[in-house]
């Protein structure tokens, strides 16, 4: 199969049981996406597929022929951080760092969902535009666990970037 990851095209031949996450980590050396539960319960493996966030442990690699994947490595590098990556550093939005790539990829996807006006459980019913309150951020990011509990700092980082971009 052929898959595009962070702009590079990879021709790969994988076991049909291989999750997208294991393809990234074990076959392509892209270990930035983390495995915390392998069951879609923690969000550490979140990547962007054609712009939308997804738990890469819950989807098989073979389902993504010709898809465009962006992982944490594709968002930025230590020398050229994505604005959200930089904001996470500035606001200390992590400690051990293991959930962090997933939090950041999830935040990228989440902000796009908000920009499109997709409502969440806590959104005001009947309005087209979603106001990105802290409550909205917390609700929409609740699929990404952080046992170090950097949650308040993550919200600060996301609000910081979203505010700058708005």
Contacting positions for another protein (CB under 8 A):
15, 17-18, 22, 25-26, 29-39, 41-42, 44, 71-73, 75-79, 81, 85-86, 88-90, 92, 94-101, 104, 134, 137-139, 141-155
- Cβ at position 26, least distance to another protein in Å: 6
Considering the complex, state which of residue 89 and residue 115 has its C-beta at the smaller distance from another protein: 89
Between CA 104 and CA 84 the distance in angstroms is: 7
- For residue 19, which phi and psi values (nearest 5 degrees)? -75, 160
| 20 burial level (CB within 10 Å; 0-12, 13-18, 19+) | buried
Among residues 80, 59, 83, 78, the alpha carbon closest in space to that of 69 is found at 59
Among residues 116, 137, 120, 117, the alpha carbon closest in space to that of 128 is found at 117
- Cβ at position 147, least distance to another protein in Å: 5
- Cβ at position 82, least distance to another protein in Å: 8
Considering the complex, state which of residue 53 and residue 128 has its C-beta at the smaller distance from another protein: 53
DSSP 63: G
DSSP-assigned beta bridge partners for residue 2: 11
Considering the complex, state which of residue 97 and residue 165 has its C-beta at the smaller distance from another protein: 97
- Cβ at position 31, least distance to another protein in Å: 4
Considering the complex, state which of residue 86 and residue 115 has its C-beta at the smaller distance from another protein: 86
3 state SS of 30: coil
- Cβ at position 88, least distance to another protein in Å: 5
* Alpha helix segments (H runs only) across 93-150: 100-115, 134-140
Considering the complex, state which of residue 4 and residue 138 has its C-beta at the smaller distance from another protein: 138
């Amino acid at each position: 199969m052929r898959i595009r990851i962070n702009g590079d095209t990879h021709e790969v031949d994988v076991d049909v049981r291989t999750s997208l996450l294991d393809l990234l980590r074990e076959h392509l050396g892209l270990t930035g996406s983390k495995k915390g539960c392998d069951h879609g319960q923690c969000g550490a493996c979140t990547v962007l597929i054609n712009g939308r966030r997804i738990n890469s442990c819950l989807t098989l690699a073979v389902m993504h022929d010709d898809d465009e994947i962006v992982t944490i490595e594709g968002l930025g590098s230590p020398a050229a951080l994505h604005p959200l990556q930089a904001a996470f550093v500035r606001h200390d939005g992590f400690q051990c760092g293991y959930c962090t790539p997933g939090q950041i990829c999830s935040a990228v996807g989440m902000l796009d969902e908000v920009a499109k006006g997709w409502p969440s459980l806590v959104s005001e019913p009947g309005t087209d535009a979603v106001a990105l309150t802290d409550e909205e951020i917390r609700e929409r990011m609740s699929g990404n666990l952080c046992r170090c509990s950097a949650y308040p700092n993550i919200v600060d980082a996301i609000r910081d970037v979203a505010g700058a971009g708005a």
